[in-house]
């Protein structure tokens, strides 16, 4: 008598888990988590060893791990005296990518780790690193795990150091023509992780330049020497930038991400950061998953 009852119970349990041939019902413990697509290659920075050594007074664009991985670059991006930054160095160390730079001319320069391509090239050569398909801003989340190793102003009263995640977005309906891959003036989100400056009027702001629409916002304040990880939803910053720039209605929802980088931006300053993870995720479509 016990065996038939046990057999019946097993059949009932099996039927409760299957609603048709090959089709399983949702788990009784809760709804399935939404699928997320990862758009950056090697987001955990598991990279083969690399060290440029110190590079002086040069504009560089390196793709040391090939076209399917990270790039690094350093340059001056303001002024008319060339794009070579005073000093830059890129190296892997203990599961991280270390970015070091010094700017001494009083222009603005950077060292960065980068994927994607919003410009169709750079000041000192073609893009050789990973270029992902454009990602809708709505629903996108940037994950970053980083540490500020150094932030030092070298000329008092003139210095600027900014560690930030840069997210570059554009669309053919952007208000102004420009030099991006779509022939428009793109939007860049400067999402600050650490900022120091002592020059007049040097706070973070929202402004338009000849090259881009710039929206700067604080998302964290990393203490030097302290590693921190965080998740940054992109669209709230896009919506705020669209409001401030008075973009046409609906443009914020049309914008797509073309490039993501971790940048150490410098003027009369020295800076170094260690990057342990940088990711870009968005809701996955059927058949889409992590890279």
Residue 152 has a pLDDT of 95
Average pLDDT, whole number, for the chain?
A: 88
Spatial distance between the Cα atoms of 191 and 188, rounded to a whole number of angstroms:
9
Residue 82 has a pLDDT of 83
CATH of 34-283, one of 2.40.40.20, 3.90.1150.10, 2.60.120.180, 3.40.50.410: 2.60.120.180
Q: Which residue has the higher pLDDT, 31 or 278?
A: 278
Whether the per-residue pLDDT at 23 is higher than 50: the answer is: no
Indicate the pLDDT class of residue 78, thresholds 50, 70 and 90.
confident
Q: Strand pairing of 96-103 and 213-218?
A: unpaired
**Helices (H) and strands (E) in the chain — how many of each?**
3, 18
Indicate the pLDDT class of residue 291, thresholds 50, 70 and 90.
low
Residue 10 has a pLDDT of 38
- Residue ranges per structural domain of the chain: 34-283
Provide, rounded to the nearest whole percent, the portion of the chain with pLDDT above 70: 86
Q: pLDDT tens for residues 93-137?
A: 999 999 999 999 999 999 999 999 999 999 899 999 999 999 999
Nearest alpha carbon to residue 61 among 94, 95, 93, 85: 85
Q: Strand pairing of 23-24 and 36-38?
A: unpaired
Count the alpha carbons within 13 Å of 54 in the hemisphere toward its beta carbon.
5
Indicate the pLDDT class of residue 188, thresholds 50, 70 and 90.
very high
Residue in the block written with tokens 């900022």: 195
Tokens at 213, concatenated: 């629409």
Q: pLDDT tens for residues 193-239?
A: 999 999 888 899 999 999 999 999 999 999 999 999 999 999 999 99
| SS3 of residue 276 by DSSP | strand
Spatial distance between the Cα atoms of 264 and 270, rounded to a whole number of angstroms:
9
Residue 220 has a pLDDT of 96
């Amino acid at each position: 008598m016990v065996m038939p009852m046990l057999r019946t119970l097993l059949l009932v349990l099996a039927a409760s888990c299957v609603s048709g041939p090959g089709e399983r019902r949702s788990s009784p413990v809760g709804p399935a988590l939404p699928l997320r697509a990862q758009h950056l290659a090697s987001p955990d920075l598991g990279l083969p060893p690399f060290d440029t050594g110190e590079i002086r007074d040069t504009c560089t664009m390196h793709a040391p791990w090939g076209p399917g991985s990270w790039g690094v670059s350093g340059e001056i991006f303001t002024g008319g005296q060339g794009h070579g930054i005073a000093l830059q160095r890129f190296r892997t160390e203990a599961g991280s990518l270390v970015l070091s730079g010094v700017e001494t001319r009083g222009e603005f320069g950077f060292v960065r780790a980068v994927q994607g391509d919003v410009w169709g090239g750079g000041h000192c050569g073609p893009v050789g690193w990973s270029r992902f398909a454009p990602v809708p801003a709505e629903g996108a989340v940037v994950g970053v795990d980083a540490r500020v190793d150094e932030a030092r102003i070298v000329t008092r009263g003139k210095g600027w150091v900014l560690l930030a995640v840069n997210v570059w977005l554009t669309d053919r309906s952007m208000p102004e023509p420009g030099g991006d891959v779509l022939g428009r003036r793109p939007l860049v989100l400067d999402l600050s992780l650490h900022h120091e400056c002592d020059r007049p009027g040097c706070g973070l702001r929202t402004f338009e330049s000849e090259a881009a629409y710039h929206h700067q916002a604080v998302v964290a304040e990393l203490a030097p020497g302290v590693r921190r990880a965080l998740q940054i939803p992109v669209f709230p910053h896009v919506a705020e930038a669209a409001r401030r720039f008075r973009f046409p209605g609906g443009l914020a929802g049309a914008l797509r991400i073309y490039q993501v980088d971790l940048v150490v931006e410098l003027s009369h300053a020295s800076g170094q950061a260690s990057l342990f993870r940088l990711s870009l995720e968005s809701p996955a479509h059927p058949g889409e998953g992590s890279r």
